[in-house]
Structure 1
Amino acid sequence: MSEKQAHLNGAYYGPSIPPKSQAYHRPGRGSDPLGCCCSCIFGLIFKLIMTAVVMVGLAVLIFWLIVRPNRIKFHVTDAHLTQFNFSNDNTLHYNLALNVTIRNPNKKIGVYYDRIEARAIYEDQRFSTFTSTTPFYQGHKKTNVVNPVFQGQQVIPDTKALSKYNEQKSSGGVYEIDVKLYLRVRFKFGLIKTGKFKPRIKCGLKVPLTQNGTSSGGTFETTKCDVDYFKSI
């Protein structure tokens, strides 16, 4: 009886709990270490590119605020057309002299003109070319004058040019001639010189024919030219 009572008074904790087994997790696709590394590299490259873009933008902004660059200005201030006529074989005989003023309005930028080529065009037909290979330097807020001269003869087979010539001859003798300037220039800021730029300038002229000192259609008016640093004209 005493043995039975002793057994009943003992502490009972129930059945023993088995130890937890370690679960096995199969690595998924998102945990690929190589993909994670590539993402980090691409992110770093993107940040570097954006930083470089911002730095270049700030440098350009600071340069513009300090220098305040302005476009070079071109005007044809005078034009003398003493011969402009077609012969029977569609040959154009011409004699045209121009005064072209070049104004540098910048206070801190100088310009080196290494080459100037001027082309005379009538109804999309080029009939003469003038080239100046004498380089010169244009200082701050300076004005220079270039005097291209076109003289000679040129066969123009396009009948459209002849028709336009007859029309303008009968309407007063004022001829619409385009002059295009092709430049090779360098800019100077302090001790810094840039590489070569090739701006192009277009001057749409209305030039009266002058014979024996008398103009057939009034006087020539100063013409402002269009300047394009990036596009061909």
Structure 2
Amino acid sequence: MEEKQFHLDEAYYGPSIPPPTRSYRRHRSDDWCDDCGSCCCLISFLLQLIGLVVVTIALVFLIFHPSKVKIHVTDASLTLFNFTTTLNYNLALNITIRNPNKMIGIYYDSIEASAFFGDRWFGSVSLTPFYQGHKNTTVLGPVFEGQQLVSLGASDSSVFNSEKSAGVYDINVKLNLRIRFKLGNYLKTWRIKPEIKCDLKVPLISNGESRPGTFEATKCHTSF
């Protein structure tokens, strides 16, 4: 049988090519990061950053052995604390700040001391900024003096009268600080804002004498 031959100049129509199949597989939430897209790369960067911070903190502890700063009110002199419609007061404090660290200095860039009777503010004073060296003790001497219009409710007035009879007042002093640490000779940290709270029981001094006794040194609560 003679085989039919096709010439190149003749049209030839073969079987049609089927269209490509489309996948309708549902994407899972983790498929978006399969090729390390923006989400995956961001997570990887954050993990590396967290790891770097942890390593840095660990190195600081290993090299500098930081110890907590200790703050005490070692003396308090209250010579006037009288309330009518305004609160008249005269309070002087000695506050010691102890830096026990051998290789860490502290910059006290801003220091504000505020005094409260209960939760009622009655006076504030700004103190001179300073640098505290290694294993150093610094004494601050804020003085609160003047008069302030203070609104006392019935319960506060009752507390005030009770403490007036006893001759000892509960006075809270807060130190709002802006500080930086100096690690070694050159490295300085960013500025932080710790708050110091000192809950004091201060006897009133009248005619040079304190009827209930002398003030007892008090440790303050620190956050650094």
Same fold per superposition (TM over 0.5): yes
CA offsets, 1:121-163, max 9 Å, x none? 002111111111x221100110000000011111212234322
Q: After superposition, where does 1:117-136 map in structure 2 within 5 Å?
A: 117-132=112-127, 134-136=128-130
Q: Give the structure 1 partner of residue 63 of structure 2.
A: 66
Q: After superposition, where does 1:11-90 map in structure 2 within 5 Å?
A: 26-30=21-25, 38-42=33-37, 43-87=40-84, 90=85
SS of the aligned residue for 1:163 comes to helix
Give, in whole Å, the separation in 1 of the partners of 2:42 and 2:159.
60
Q: CA 1:128 to 1:52, structure 2 compared with 1: closer, same or farther past 3 Å?
A: closer
Q: CA 1:57 to 1:81, structure 2 compared with 1: closer, same or farther past 3 Å?
A: same
Identity %: 48
Unaligned regions of 5+ residues in structure 1, if any? 1-21
Contact 1:119 1:129 (C-alpha < 8 Å) held by counterparts = yes
Give, in whole Å, the separation in 2 of the partners of 1:135 and 1:155.
29
CA offsets, 1:99-128, max 9 Å, x none? 000011111110111221111100211111
Give, in whole Å, the separation in 1 of the partners of 2:42 and 2:89.
62
Q: After superposition, where does 1:89-168 map in structure 2 within 5 Å?
A: 90-132=85-127, 134-159=128-153, 160-168=155-163
SS of the aligned residue for 2:93 comes to strand
Aligned-pair CA distance for 1:53: 2.2
Q: RMSD value over aligned CA atoms?
A: 2.4
Unaligned regions of 5+ residues in structure 2, if any? 1-16
Give, in whole Å, the separation in 1 of the partners of 2:173 and 2:41.
52
Q: CA 1:37 to 1:126, structure 2 compared with 1: closer, same or farther past 3 Å?
A: closer
Give, in whole Å, the separation in 2 of the partners of 1:116 and 1:80.
21
Q: Give the structure 1 partner of residue 195 of structure 2.
A: 200
Contact 1:82 1:96 (C-alpha < 8 Å) held by counterparts = yes
Structure with more helix by fraction: 1
Larger radius of gyration: 1
Q: How many residues align?
A: 202
